[in-house]
Chains A and B, each alone.
Chain A
């Protein structure tokens, strides 16, 4: 936090009163706003003021997704200033962050911790770009590590679509409807609270007080006004539409039927739908069932889309807990609807928090890149062994929900998605209850009672090995991926333990 600059030498508790300490300010609101000492003109100035040094840890959030322009701008300035050996603690990284490659090569970035990565950066790292392995953490684990001091963030550089001159900031603007918007700042909240120094980067300084705010001024040291912080097109789309892909719809309908058969679809239930066509479409079929039964959900959690907002408007969802808004409809709802609550990653998923929101879940529907016959799930590496995904809240929701449903096609193109053993273990099978493909439902043998409930409701379940055999029958057995023995990624479980390692791809 900020030193008490310019406020004199306080004598401390029970010290003698000194007249000069009782300084009265006659500045008006307007004057104070104009002369806020927190507002800086450039990233360079902020980096100087926070005293960033070689070897420190800096953090970023990923609420701007692939439209983010904060990471690249900040890193370019830091590189120019000659600071080296930094650790980047990002909530996630995307295709747009490919310029990090040059900062890794020239020694500015030494280590990376993130939920996931995609694109060229992920490709290069899979091929051994870094000396030190990337640490992959779920959103819950990241919040856990930060809040318990396992990871110390020296400086958090947090983009915000609006901030007042004192750092009260938000993922949208109340002053200007044309400003960029990302909705919830859930992942940034945790960084703001626990980082030593916090710099807000905004393109939109609004009058004090920017309330209600996502991050309060007491957590903010500096506010930097920038020309641009992100590209709205890459941040989010207007509205996430339900998929029209017939195969995803078949999967979603079967998942909804299985959820109903589980008996958990009752008045006041809670749910989280992961991103991805099939998991989002489950919502649509659940809505039909909720209408039939005349029931509603007490809350919807997680990444929030417009379809969840629609359910709220129709009265099928009573509260929305939003750690990340996925589209403009969700962002707008967060702004206007007091029952649409912005939550931090810590509130959302930290395993250190007994009442954490994921633990209150009845139903979680999550996607997978790959799942195996032990119900383990991989959401991080592709069939070619390269990193191309993110843990996100997958481990957290799977562990917390009373019923965890994985929706996954049997194959993608000629790649089998139900396999003998996932190439990277991310979410352990012991936390997964069933896997739904377009060919039906397989219940985890650890959940005998659940299987009985489904069968009783007339759902013919399949053995997961049947799925595996069908998948291999369609695609044939691929050659094993060739790796070297160099570790390029360490996959952690939500409690911080190491659950798997990602190895460097061998060059052909």
Chain B
């Protein structure tokens, strides 16, 4: 099973102290502090300092903290890594990833910083955001580029501009990109995160888009406003029927284990591995919503 649920990753501008402080109260699965596009050029140092201090001193009741750095080939990006990696507390999100080499370049710097700060090699996880046609076409190689990678994400705003189109409510223009990202992630065994939905007051639109990416197989979505979190979590919550079925599967496994039998069957049908995996995932999602007690996960 994946280490983290990643239904929602909330973006928090790295130069907003109030939002940084409150980032943990909204119940997202991950929080991503941004040092890149939401921070103006003259605020880069201040944001880096703020985010580093927050990570070093504040408690967050959030399973996963992430920092989106500037391009690591720039002085800003290098300074970002030097400030964040030694804390050993946040994953690094690499923006505008175009090639596997981009990932390896960043991973190399991280490795050196980890060594210098006495952290175990590999402590720092990475995520790669793909935001261009080049990146989408290289998605598979990107997703496999480093064992540090825990996920690959689509950044649609830059991507559609690069495609010479704009985002539509139906998301037709993103079909290929989303499919590529998802397949690359699954082939590499890492998480696939969908892009943000920018119309924060349009709850219906957000729900429709989330239903689409949920059906495609994505792990979750990036979020730009805390109000979007509950909508996405609802879409990812299994129905009562799915939960009941998953529970029956888990019972069948326990029964088979008790008998010492290697064959698991339910209602006369053999249960194979994908069914077990789906059941486990359904229970985990249900537990995350509090609709099902975690201790009974089995």
Per-position 1/0 for A427-463, Cβ under 8 A of B: 0000000000011000000000000000000100000
Q: Do A246 and B21 have beta carbons less than 8 Å apart?
A: no
Known: A244-B227, A458-B290. A250 touches B21 (CB 8 A): no
- Is there an interface contact between B227 and A246, defined as CB atoms closer than 8 Å? yes
Q: Which residues of A contact B227 (CB under 8 A)?
A: 244, 246, 249
Partner of A474, one of B21, B25, B26, B225: B21
Given contacts A246-B225, A246-B227, A250-B26, contact A413 B290 (CB under 8 A): no
Inter-chain CA distance A411–B22, complex, in Å, is 10
| Least Cβ–Cβ distance between B99 and chain A, in angstroms | 37
User: Do the beta carbons of B21 and A247 come within 8 Å of each other?
Assistant: no
Check B25–A247 contact: CB distance below 8 A.
yes
Contacts of B290 in A (CB 8 A): 458
- Does chain A have a CB within 8 A of B18? yes
Knowing A438-B25, A439-B25, A458-B290 are in contact, say whether A246-B226 is a contact too (CB < 8 A). Answer: yes
B18 to chain A, nearest CB (A): 7
Give Cα A158 to B136, complex, Å. Answer: 71
Q: Give every chain B residue within 8 A of A474 (Cβ-Cβ).
A: 21, 58
Check A250–B18 contact: CB distance below 8 A. Answer: no
Q: Is B22 in contact with A438, judged by CB distance below 8 angstroms?
A: yes
What does the 1/0 interface line of B6-47 toward A look like (CB < 8 Å)?
Answer: 000000000000100110011000000000000000000000
Contacts of A458 in B (CB 8 A): 290
CB distance from B233 to the nearest CB of A (A): 13
B residues 235-275 near A (Cβ < 8 Å) are: none
Contact with B along A404-428 (1 / 0, CB 8 A): 0000000101000000000000000
B: contact size bracket: 10 to 19
Please name all residues of chain A whose beta carbon is closer than 8 Å to the beta carbon of B22 when the two chains form the complex. 247, 438
| Residue in chain A with minimal CB distance to B59 | A470
Set of chain A residues within 8 Å of B25, measured between Cβ atoms: 247, 250, 438-439
Minimum CB–CB distance for B22 against chain A, Å: 6
8 Å CB interface, A90-123 against B:
none
Q: How far apart sit A234 and B136, CA to CA, in the bound complex (Å)?
A: 55
Of all chain A residues, the one with the shortest Cβ separation from B61 is A439
Enumerate B261-297 residues with CB–CB distance to A below 8 Å: 290
Q: Could you say which of B18, B21, B25, B227 has the most chain A C-beta atoms within 10 Å of its C-beta? A: B25
Chain B residues with CB under 8 A of A413? 18
Q: Which residues of A contact B225 (CB under 8 A)?
A: 246
CA distance A413 to B26 in the complex (A): 18
Nearest chain A CB to B198 CB, angstrom units: 16
Instruction: Kindly state the separation between the CA atoms of A474 and B54 in the bound complex, as whole angstroms.
Output: 10
| B26: A residues at CB distance < 8 A | 246, 250
Residues of chain B within 8 A of A250, CB atoms compared? 25-26, 226
Within 8 A of B (CB), among A314-363: none
**A413 CA to B16 CA in the complex, in Å?**
11
Nearest-Cβ distance from residue A163 to partner chain B, whole angstroms: 43
Contact residues of A between 230 and 257, Cβ < 8 Å to B: 244, 246-247, 249-250
Chain A minimum-CB-distance residue to B21: A474
Contacts of B226 in A (CB 8 A): 246, 249-250
> Which residues of the other chain, B, contact A438 by a CB distance below 8 angstroms?
22, 25
Which residues in chain A, 263-291, are within 8 Å of chain B measured between CB atoms? none
A55 CB to closest chain B CB, in angstroms?
51
In the complex, A195 Cα to B188 Cα: how many Å?
A: 82
Contact with B along A210-237 (1 / 0, CB 8 A): 0000000000000000000000000000
- Closest-by-CB residue of B relative to A413 is B18
Q: How far is the CA of A249 from the CA of B26 in the complex (A)?
A: 9
A413 and B22 alpha carbons, distance in the complex (Å): 11
What is the CB-to-nearest-CB distance from A197 to chain B, in angstroms, rounded to a whole number? Answer: 52
Instruction: Point out the residues of chain B lying under 8 angstroms from A249, CB to CB.
Output: 226-227
The residue of chain A having its C-beta at the shortest distance from the C-beta of B57 within the complex is: A473
CB distance from A251 to the nearest CB of B (A): 9
**Closest CB of chain A to B138's CB: distance in Å?**
36
Q: Which residue of A has the minimal Cβ distance to B230?
A: A253
Q: How far is the CA of A439 from the CA of B290 in the complex (A)?
A: 18
> Smallest distance from the beta carbon of A470 to chain B beta carbons, Å?
8
Instruction: Produce 1/0 per residue, A46-70, CB < 8 A to B.
Output: 0000000000000000000000000
A250–B21 alpha-carbon span in the complex (Å): 14
Give A246 to B227 CA distance when docked, in angstroms. 6
Residues of B with C-beta under 8 A to A246: 26, 225-227
Q: How far, in angstroms, from A458 to B290 measured CA to CA in the complex?
A: 10
Q: For A244, list chain B residues within 8 Å (CB).
A: 227
Distance (whole angstroms) from the CB of A438 to the closest CB of chain B: 5
Please give, as numbers and ranges, the residues of chain B lying within 8 Å of A411 by CB-CB distance: 21
- Give Cα A474 to B26, complex, Å: 18
- What residue of chain A has the Cβ atom nearest to residue B24's Cβ? A439
- What residues of chain A lie closer than 8 Å to B58, measured between beta carbons? 474
Interface set, chain B 205-237, CB cutoff 8 A to A: 225-227
Q: Which residues of A contact B18 (CB under 8 A)?
A: 413
Nearest CB of B to A457, in Å = 11
Complex Cα gap A439–B24 (Å): 9
Please, how many angstroms separate the alpha-carbon atoms of A413 and B18 in the complex?
Answer: 7
Q: A250-B25, A439-B25, A458-B290 are in contact. List 10 more A-B contacts (CB 8 A).
A: A244-B227, A246-B225, A246-B227, A247-B22, A249-B226, A249-B227, A250-B226, A413-B18, A474-B21, A474-B58
Q: List 16 A-B contacts (CB under 8 A).
A: A244-B227, A246-B225, A246-B227, A247-B22, A247-B25, A249-B226, A250-B25, A250-B26, A250-B226, A413-B18, A438-B22, A438-B25, A439-B25, A458-B290, A474-B21, A474-B58
A residues at B contact (CB < 8 Å)? 244, 246-247, 249-250, 411, 413, 438-439, 458, 474
The 8 closest A-B pairs by CB, nearest first: A246-B226, A438-B25, A250-B25, A246-B227, A247-B22, A474-B21, A250-B26, A246-B26
